[in-house]
C-alpha cells in the first residue's frame, strides 16, 4: 500500500525535514503517527497523500514509484486518498452538503445516490441540521466534522488525517476515530497524526513515532 525506503524531504533549499525514513503500511492497517511539534508529521503525511515529492529515497503508493511515475498518473492515485487537513480547506461558497458531495460528483455518481450518502454521513457526525449552511457560519469543530465527512464519503483506499480531533471535544473526537475504525474494517488503510496521548492510550493500533525527522526505533 505505502512503502518508504530511506526517504528524505526538504522544502526548497532549506534543511531536510525528513531524514532516512523507512516504513511499510500494509493494506487495511491502522496507524497513529505521533511525535513533538516540528518532528515532521505533516511533511510525512504530505508525501503519503502525494502533495510533495521526496528529495531522495523511494516512495511507493498503490504500487507506483512516486518519484519516477508520470505526473499524468498522479490525479488518479490522489482520488483514492482521503485527506483531513488541519486547516479544513472547505469551499466557503458551497453549502455543507455540497462540500461533502464534491468528491462523489467528480467521481460521476448519480445525484440521488450522492444525496443519500452525504445526508446519512452528515447526520452521523451531528450536522444533519446544517446541510445548507456555508462554512463561514460554522464553528471550528463543525468545520472539522465537515472536512472529515468529505474525506471519508468516497470510502478511500487510504485515509490520511492530520490532527483530526484537534478542533472537536473528546466525545466527538472518539466518534470520529470510531468512524475511521469502521472504514478500516472494510479495507481502508488509515493514518492518523496526533499528539494527544489520551487517544493513543484509548486505542490499540500501531504507532509510528517521529523525532527530528526520523522514525524512532522500537515503534
Question: Left if phi > 0, otherwise alpha if psi is -120 to 50, otherwise beta: which for 35?
Answer: left
If we measure between CA atoms, which residue out of 211, 213, 209, 210 comes closest to residue 17?
A: 213
Give the pLDDT score at 196. Answer: 83
Give the pLDDT score at 217. Answer: 63
Q: How many residues does the chain have?
A: 219
Q: 166 pLDDT band (50/70/90 cuts)?
A: confident
Give the pLDDT score at 102. Answer: 92
Give the pLDDT score at 218. Answer: 52
Give the pLDDT score at 198. Answer: 82
For 95, phi then psi, to 5°, come to -70, 165
Mean pLDDT of the chain: 91
97 versus 86: which is more confidently predicted? 97
Domain ranges of the chain: 91-154
Give the mean pLDDT of 60-83. 91
88 versus 172: which is more confidently predicted? 88
Please state the pTM of the whole predicted model.
0.90
CB 213 within 8 A of CB 19: yes
Give the pLDDT score at 173. Answer: 83
CB 36 within 8 A of CB 195: yes
Give the mean pLDDT of 43-52. 94
Q: 157 pLDDT band (50/70/90 cuts)?
A: very high
Give the pLDDT score at 77. Answer: 93
Give the mean pLDDT of 138-166. 91
Give the mean pLDDT of 59-74. 91
How far apart are the C-alpha atoms of 159 and 155, rounded to whole Å?
9
DSSP-derived 3-state class of residue 127: coil
Amino acid at each position: 500500500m505505502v512503502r518508504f525506503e530511506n526517504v528524505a524531504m526538504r522544502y526548497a533549499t532549506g534543511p531536510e525535514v525528513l531524514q532516512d525514513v523507512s516504513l511499510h503500511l500494509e493494506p487495511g492497517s491502522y496507524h497513529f503517527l505521533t511525535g513533538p511539534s516540528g518532528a515532521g508529521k505533516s511533511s510525512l503525511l504530505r508525501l503519503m497523500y502525494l502533495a510533495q515529492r521526496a528529495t531522495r529515497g523511494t516512495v511507493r503508493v498503490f504500487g507506483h514509484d512516486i518519484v519516477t511515475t508520470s505526473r499524468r498518473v498522479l490525479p488518479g492515485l490522489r482520488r483514492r486518498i482521503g485527506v483531513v487537513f488541519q486547516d479544513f480547506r472547505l469551499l466557503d461558497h458551497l453549502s455543507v452538503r455540497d462540500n461533502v458531495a464534491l468528491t462523489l460528483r467528480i467521481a460521476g455518481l448519480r445525484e440521488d445516490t450522492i444525496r443519500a450518502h452525504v445526508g446519512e454521513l452528515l447526520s452521523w457526525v451531528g450536522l444533519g441540521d446544517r446541510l445548507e449552511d456555508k462554512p463561514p457560519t460554522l464553528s471550528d469543530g463543525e468545520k472539522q466534522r465537515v472536512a472529515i465527512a468529505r474525506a471519508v464519503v468516497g470510502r478511500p483506499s487510504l485515509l490520511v488525517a492530520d490532527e483530526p480531533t484537534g478542533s472537536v471535544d473528546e466525545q466527538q473526537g472518539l466518534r470520529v476515530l470510531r468512524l475511521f475504525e469502521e472504514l478500516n474494517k472494510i479495507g481502508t488503510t488509515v493514518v492518523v497524526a496526533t499528539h494527544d496521548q489520551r487517544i493513543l492510550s484509548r486505542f490499540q493500533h500501531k504507532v509510528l513515532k517521529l523525532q527530528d525527522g526520523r522514525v524512532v526505533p522500537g515503534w
